[in-house]
Amino acid sequence: MLTKRPRGTNDFLPEDTAKWQYLEKLLREICQQFGYAELRTPIFEETALFLRGVGDTTDIVQKEMYTFEDSGGRSLTLRPENTASAVRAYVENKLFAGQQPVRLFYMGPMFRYERPQAGRFRQFHQFGVECFGAASPAADAEVIALAWEFYRRLGLQGLELNLNSVGCPNCRPTYRQALQDFLRPHLDELCPTCQERFEKNPLRILDCKNPQCQQFLHGAPTTLDALCDDCRVHFDAVQEYLQAAAIPYRLNTNLVRGLDYYTNTAFEILLSDIGAQSAVCGGGRYNGLVEELGGKPAPGVGFALGMERVFSALNAQGLELPVAPGLDVFVAVLDKQAQKQAFQLACALRSQGLAVGYDTLERSLKAQLKYADSQRAAYTLLVGGDELARGSVVLRDMQSSEQSEFPIEEIGAVLTARLLN
């Protein structure tokens, strides 16, 4: 149907977008305070970028990407996440040649073909940060602190930071083999998805939500057991930085994240109020991704959060965002002979920085006042032929209904003074 939006998408009406703008403004303020600058990348990229960057064994690549061929025969994909695009931008634009680290943030729509449910959509919106060029554990703690600060300022309660290390290319093979050896006797009893992951990406079995698979993980070796000395030192330091910032966390050795590019630190922020999909933020370190996508080796760390999940969390805890301000003044036209001068007055007041509404439907005064009230106008100007003949307009306070007449040339200053009080 032409009048029905595609499944898994949403319309955001004016009362919704005001809340989105508040969150976006807050995120920009926090990023500025942490020294992160905004990056904007294309909504679609070469498909190969996500095959290599996200990982061809991930659910995203295997099941969820919106991929199409353009008129030139090129395979393109609507971005399912933005870290791969950020890395591509870092390499293509030679940001590695400037001062390091490069701190970036982004926000915008992403696309995944998955079953729509609470907090999950086919077009969804992500905010994320990426820090390139810093291998220090302080960088890991910094991006975690940025995410934590956002949720703290929103006033959300019951947040839990889960933390793990998935090791590096030197020590992960040892853990991979140990996990496979542990699970092999139960391979036939694992769910079909985990049986498929057993050879390709056995660490993802740790993340399986199937209770049957979970029971076979009791007593399994953990990633922390297999960390090399360098990874151990790095992970210990991350925890020390978080402790210094008074950010509480819980070690979760089953946390591996769903993307193939993670190394060392992996983390999620959880909130039980929003149901089974309880993660409201996730990220970690990806020291090999820049090189994997064709750049010179450069460390990276970052996170992403779903904006729709944030709204679900706010609603679950009954937290209200500030309402967008209404009109400063609405210009009500009393008769036809005043229409053009009233329009001119509305334009003049806008040029003075005021938010001004104007009646374009030639309604009765009663209807115009009702509309002005619906727009939360602080004042209404009554402009008619008689008033204009006297060189004045009537100013009506929409809360008290008090009315006063003022010269036209003074009304801008009068409104500004009253709005400032």
The answer to whether 264 and 166 have CB atoms below 8 angstroms apart is yes
CA pair distance 391, 393, nearest whole angstrom: 7
From residue 165, alpha-carbon distances to 171, 235, 252 in Å are 11, 7, 9
Angle of helix 411-420 relative to helix 339-351, nearest 10 degrees, comes to 50
Q: Locate tokens 């009702």: which residue?
A: 370
- Return the half-sphere exposure (C-beta side, CA atoms, 13 A cut-off) of residue 295: 27
**What is the tens place of the pLDDT at every residue in 409-421?**
999 999 999 999 8
pLDDT number for residue 324: 83
Q: Where are the chain's structural domains?
A: 14-171+227-316, 329-416
Phi-psi region at 101: left, alpha or beta (left = phi > 0; alpha = psi -120 to 50): beta
Q: What is the pLDDT of residue 403?
A: 97
d(CA 306, CA 113) in angstroms, rounded, equals 16
**Backbone angle region of 338, left / alpha / beta, with phi > 0 → left and psi within -120 to 50 → alpha:** alpha
Q: Which amino acid is at 216?
A: F
Residue ranges in the chain modelled with pLDDT below 50: none
Q: Where are the alpha helices (DSSP H) in 93-171?
A: 137-154
The whole-number pLDDT of residue 274 equals: 67
Q: What pLDDT does 52 receive?
A: 86
CATH assignment of 329-416, among 3.20.20.140, 2.30.110.10, 3.40.50.800, 3.40.50.300: 3.40.50.800
Please give the pLDDT value at position 115: 80
CB-based contact 11:121 (threshold 8 Å): no
Q: At the top level of CATH, which class does the domain 14-171+227-316 belong to?
A: alpha beta
Equal fold, 14-171+227-316 vs 329-416: no
pLDDT at res. 38: 98
3-state secondary structure (DSSP) of residue 149? helix
Task: State the chain's mean pLDDT as an integer.
Answer: 93
Which of 118, 134, 96, 153 shows the shortest CA–CA distance to 277? 118
pLDDT at 57: 63
Cα separation, 161 vs 280, in Å, equals 10
pLDDT at 260: 66
Residue range 374-402, pLDDT digits in tens: 999 999 999 999 999 999 999 999 999 99
